[in-house]
Amino acid sequence: MNAKRPIGIAVAGLGSAARMMLPSLQDHPRWKLSAITDIDRDTLASVADMTGARASVDLDAMLAAPDVDVVYIATPTLLHATHVRAAAAAGKHVIVEKPMAETASAALAMIEAAERAGIFLIVGHSRSFDIAIRRMREIIAAGTLGRPRMIQSTVYTDWIYRPRRPDELDPDQGGGVIFRQGAHQFDVIRLLGGGMLKNVRASLFDMDASRAAVGAHSVFLSFEDGAAATAVYNGYGCFMTSELCFGVGERGFEDPVEGLGAARRAYLARSGGSEDGLKRVRAAGQARGIPPHHPFFGLTLVSCEAGDLRQAPDGLFLYTARGREHIPFPPERNVYDAVLAEMAQAIDSDTRPLHDGRWGLANLEVCEASLRSARSGTEQALVRQVPVR
Ligand SMILES: NC(=O)c1ccc[n+]([C@@H]2O[C@H](COP(=O)([O-])OP(=O)(O)OC[C@H]3O[C@@H](n4cnc5c(N)ncnc54)[C@H](O)[C@@H]3O)[C@@H](O)[C@H]2O)c1
């Protein structure tokens, strides 16, 4: 493909994830939003009005269009495998949302379809594309701090009380925080630690009988090189980690302490029933402009042999024998810019992207193994890990 030609992209599924991503495509020098699809006609019409993209309820017709080079698949997790295989069969490159699928076997079918079709497949684990995480990785890779030995990811949110479909809460359908949020944590931890996890031991928690779900987890991960990591997530909306993270929330906006737990209070105030309408209202509110700070996916703390790293509101803090140093850098327009850049780079250079299907499968393997570990009370070996390339 001519590097100068805009890359045509189509978006399938116009919920929360897509609404966060769409602003990246506005006035982008390299990308052109060609087409959108969703089964909900009202959603489709309102996004078409907003973006001017060609709208269709027919995913196959959208995939056949010659001005579509890449498809961003942000449909519910249970549909990823079907939609990725259809896009690959149509010869389109794919960015698919995390978790890649609900099972490793579904993910493998996606990888095989992509390899057969010779298309690039990126799993858009947006959190490891956060600039703060990418900078941490660069500092670690430079080697001056020595090897990373301990990595912590601790995130407390109100995830479980946000409007959901039942499948989103059920780990057997790729739901609950272990699949939906653990997928981000394992991705970040693997990127910072080099990718090659060896085994996992996990406890999962359902703490509210009125909302049956896996809503919290505590996961201990060992790397092949002896490093260790912990991934702790609590989605029950009492304490929230933004309070520990300088009052900055998951997307880089201020998260004042008075507003914390709003989703939990709203959930307690309503009387059950379908949450579909509320989901659509929430999704529509996701396009929020440029954040003043870096997104804070809770507390990420990396201990290397010669120092520790963590996020600052406007950069990183590096702690060494010299004391604390601030490494400043400005926030990015939208975290999906980096996801799009990785795909554009793969297309331009004809080389496999880092966050490809095998990387996504390795993250998914940790989600599945955590579930098995919690159910069996045993440590689980990991066999599908791949290194950071
Ligand atoms: N990277 C992130 O930060 C992030 C954030 C949220 C969600 N996600 C992921 O994105 C995916 C979608 O999650 P969401 O919260 O946006 O879901 P959602 O339910 O808000 O949106 C899904 C959309 O897909 C549409 N849809 C359903 N079936 C379809 C079909 N057959 N064809 C076309 N459209 C269809 C629905 O009408 C809906 O508009 C999930 O895999 C989730 O894990 C990622």
To test ligand 1's pocket by mutation, which of 38, 58, 165, 185 has the most ligand atoms within 8 angstroms of CB?
A: 38
C-beta 153 within 6 A of ligand 1: no
pLDDT at 318 over 50: yes
Q: Are residues 199 and 255 in the same domain?
A: yes
Q: pLDDT confidence of 365, banded at 50, 70, 90?
A: very high
C-beta 128 within 6 A of ligand 1: no
Inside any domain, residue 278: yes
User: Which single residue is written with the structure tokens 């057969």?
Assistant: 116
C-beta 77 within 6 A of ligand 1: yes
Q: Are residues 19 and 85 in the same domain?
A: yes
Q: Are residues 269 and 181 in the same domain?
A: yes
Q: What atom in ligand 1 is closest to the CA of residue 40?
A: 37
CA of 43 to the centre of ligand 1 (A): 12
Task: Quick: pLDDT tens for 31-83.
Answer: 999 999 999 999 999 999 999 999 999 999 999 999 999 999 999 999 999 99
Q: Which of 48, 42, 40, 46 is nearest to 10 (CA)?
A: 48
With a pLDDT cut of 70, the percent of the chain lying above it is: 99
5 secondary structure, DSSP code? S
Q: What atom in ligand 1 is closest to the CA of residue 280?
A: 20
Task: Quick: pLDDT tens for 157-169.
Answer: 999 999 999 999 9
CATH number of 317's domain: 3.30.360.10
Q: Are residues 215 and 275 in the same domain?
A: yes
Q: What atom in ligand 1 is closest to the CA of residue 126?
A: 1
- What's the CA gap between 136 and 139, in Å, rounded? 5
Task: Quick: pLDDT tens for 96-118.
Answer: 999 999 999 999 999 999 999 99
Phi then psi dihedrals of residue 118, to 5 deg: 70, 35
C-beta 180 within 6 A of ligand 1: yes
To test ligand 1's pocket by mutation, which of 24, 42, 58, 75 has the most ligand atoms within 8 angstroms of CB?
A: 75
Model pLDDT, residue 291: 87
Q: Please state, rounded to an integer, the average pLDDT across all residues of the chain.
A: 95
Q: Are residues 204 and 316 in the same domain?
A: yes
Inside any domain, residue 387: no
pTM of the model: 0.96
| E strand spans, the chain | 7-12, 31-37, 54-56, 70-73, 93-96, 121-123, 148-156, 197-205, 216-223, 228-234, 299-304, 307-312, 315-320, 323-328, 380-381
Model pLDDT, residue 3: 52
- What's the CA gap between 196 and 323, in Å, rounded? 31
Residue nearest to ligand 1 atom 1, measured at CA: 126
User: Which single residue is written with the structure tokens 């890649």?
Assistant: 100
Q: Are residues 338 and 248 in the same domain?
A: no
Residue nearest to ligand 1 atom 8, measured at CA: 17
Q: Are residues 101 and 207 in the same domain?
A: no
Domains in the chain, number: 2
- What's the CA gap between 283 and 14, in Å, rounded? 8
Inside any domain, residue 38: yes
Q: Are residues 317 and 275 in the same domain?
A: yes
Q: Going edge to edge, which strands form the sheet with 323-328?
A: 323-328, 315-320, 307-312, 299-304, 148-156, 228-234, 216-223, 197-205, 380-381
CA of 126 to the centre of ligand 1 (A): 14
Contacts of 249 (CB under 8 A, 6+ apart): 242, 255, 295, 296
- What's the CA gap between 264 and 236, in Å, rounded? 7
Q: Are residues 133 and 233 in the same domain?
A: yes
Both tokens of 58, joined, read 């027919």
Residue 212 sits in which domain range? 128-332+367-381
C-beta 97 within 6 A of ligand 1: yes
- What's the CA gap between 363 and 197, in Å, rounded? 10
Inside any domain, residue 257: yes
CA of 17 to the centre of ligand 1 (A): 6
CA of 283 to the centre of ligand 1 (A): 9
C-beta 81 within 6 A of ligand 1: no
According to DSSP, the residues that pair with 231 across neighbouring strands are 153, 219
Inside any domain, residue 362: no
CA of 15 to the centre of ligand 1 (A): 5
Q: pLDDT confidence of 258, banded at 50, 70, 90?
A: confident
pLDDT at 359 over 60: yes
Q: Are residues 341 and 212 in the same domain?
A: no
